[in-house]
Amino acid sequence: MNSLEVLIVGAGFAGSVVARELADAGRRVLVVDRRPHIGGNAHDEVDAHGVLIHPYGPHIFHTNSQRVFDWLSRFTAWLPYEHRVRSVVGGVAYPFPINRRTLNMLYGLDLDEAGAAAYFERVREAREPVRSSEDVVLNSVGRDLYEKFFLHYTRKQWGLDPSELKAGVAARIPVRCNDDDRYFTDTHQAMPRDGYASMFANMLDHPNIRVELGVDFLDMRRRGADRGFAHTVFTGPIDAWFEYCHGRLPYRSLRFEHEHLADTERFQETGTWNYPNDHGFTRITEFKHLTGQKHRGTSIVREYPQAEGDPYYPIPRADNEALYKRYEEMGERESAVSFVGRLAQYRYYNMDQVVGAALAAAERLKS
């Protein structure tokens, strides 16, 4: 028998939260990750120029869950941060999500809030039922805004037309009649003060937790080194666990192009600028906005969507979800394994939702 009771595959939010909860409850835990660092996609590090960056793309923490915020607050202090995005259309940077000011700038209008609401009411194309992401946007802002801000961004990001994606994808983006230009309106919006890597290190710093990096679970399994654990928590892609026996679940990937600009205090006015209609990338993020770091240079990242590469996004479509269900049913029959997280549950989860799912999974395991 292995003296470590629980094996956790993946040291991202899902794996680290479950590990800490079980360790606090007196269980002994081995966490393995094939990457050379903890934190999963939320990992951050200082680049060669001394700027704190997110190698796997910008991660902005926001939540309405007091429980999730309190739980994470055991491992980090916070730096308040409200994310703001501009969308560049026809060479002009507009406030995004679309709000009253976006309308007034774009169409040369002078609408007040009631006027903006009336404008949307006039141009919207009512859809019933609202099934796809195309339905969501046409139903709220009509065709011109759809084509300028959503259609091409979505095609680029997913390689699919908005009509081919479930409503939930575009429904992440609100439409506002007031001038609120924040990307999120959650009650808690803050970044870990000393970075994500430090928060994860604190989470996993426990006498009952051992971490092994650069270890691929699938190799462990081939060697039989996964035997002897009372339970396994898997946070990688669920289809990989089952050796793709029903076929591959599609995930969308990204290529990140990082760049440092020496002697440039500020590259852009807000954290992220979206480019729906131009370029191969979807957006540029400047990290110093997110982290509050002071530095005479600045570091930015461009995100190029692609089909191949590390799995980053489950693709919310009915057929993919049906395929996932088949794997989920197989998973439910495995009493010694739990599947937790964005890849294992095939859900377009934000970080706080993964923490919530991991806390729920840990509760089940403890009882």
Q: Which stretches of the chain bind ligand UDP, using CB under 6 A?
A: 87, 96, 149-150, 153-154, 157, 169-170, 172-173, 274, 276
Q: Does 162 bind ligand FAD (CB under 6 A)?
A: no
Quick one: which of 7, 29, 31, 33 contacts ligand FAD (CB under 6 A)? 33
Which residue type is seen at 339? Answer: F
Nearest to 181 by CA among 88, 254, 95, 255: 95
Compare residues 145 and 190 and give the one whose CB is closer to ligand FAD.
190
First and final CA of the chain: distance in angstroms? 22
Is residue 132 classed as helix, strand or coil in its secondary structure?
strand
Compare residues 102 and 232 and give the one whose CB is closer to ligand FAD.
232
Q: Which of residues 269-328 bind ligand FAD (CB under 6 A)?
A: 312
Neighbours of 155 (CB within 10 A): 15
Q: Which of residues 244-273 bind ligand FAD (CB under 6 A)?
A: 254
Applying CB under 6 A, the span of 54-62, 73-81, 102-110, 330-338 interacting with ligand FAD comes to: 54-62
Quick one: which of 8, 18, 40, 287 contacts ligand FAD (CB under 6 A)? 40
Nearest to 301 by CA among 89, 40, 45: 45
User: Hunting for tokens 């439910």 — which residue is that?
Assistant: 332
Q: Does 141 bind ligand FAD (CB under 6 A)?
A: no
Given ligand UDP, ligand FAD, none, residue 170, with its beta carbon under 5 to 8 Å by kind, binds: ligand UDP
Q: Does 342 bind ligand FAD (CB under 6 A)?
A: yes
Residues 238 and 235: their CA atoms lie apart, in Å, by 8
Residues 156 and 237: their CA atoms lie apart, in Å, by 23
Quick one: which of 32, 167, 191, 323 contacts ligand FAD (CB under 6 A)? 32
HSE on the CB side for 142, CA within 13 Å? 10
Compare residues 65 and 208 and give the one whose CB is closer to ligand UDP.
65
102, 180 in Cβ contact below 8 A?
no
Q: Does 235 bind ligand FAD (CB under 6 A)?
A: yes
Burial classification of residue 149, based on how many CB atoms lie within 10 Å of its CB (0-12 exposed, 13-18 middle, 19 or more buried)? buried
Q: Which residue is nearest to ligand FAD (CB)?
A: 40
Compare residues 142 and 341 and give the one whose CB is closer to ligand FAD.
341
Quick one: which of 354, 359, 362, 365 contacts ligand FAD (CB under 6 A)? 354
Compare residues 27 and 188 and give the one whose CB is closer to ligand UDP.
188
49, 297 in Cβ contact below 8 A?
yes
Q: Which structure tokens are listed for 271?
A: 């954290």
28, 208 in Cβ contact below 8 A?
yes
Binding site for ligand FAD (CB under 6 A): 9-15, 32-35, 40-42, 57-60, 216-218, 235-236, 254, 312, 341-343, 349-352, 354
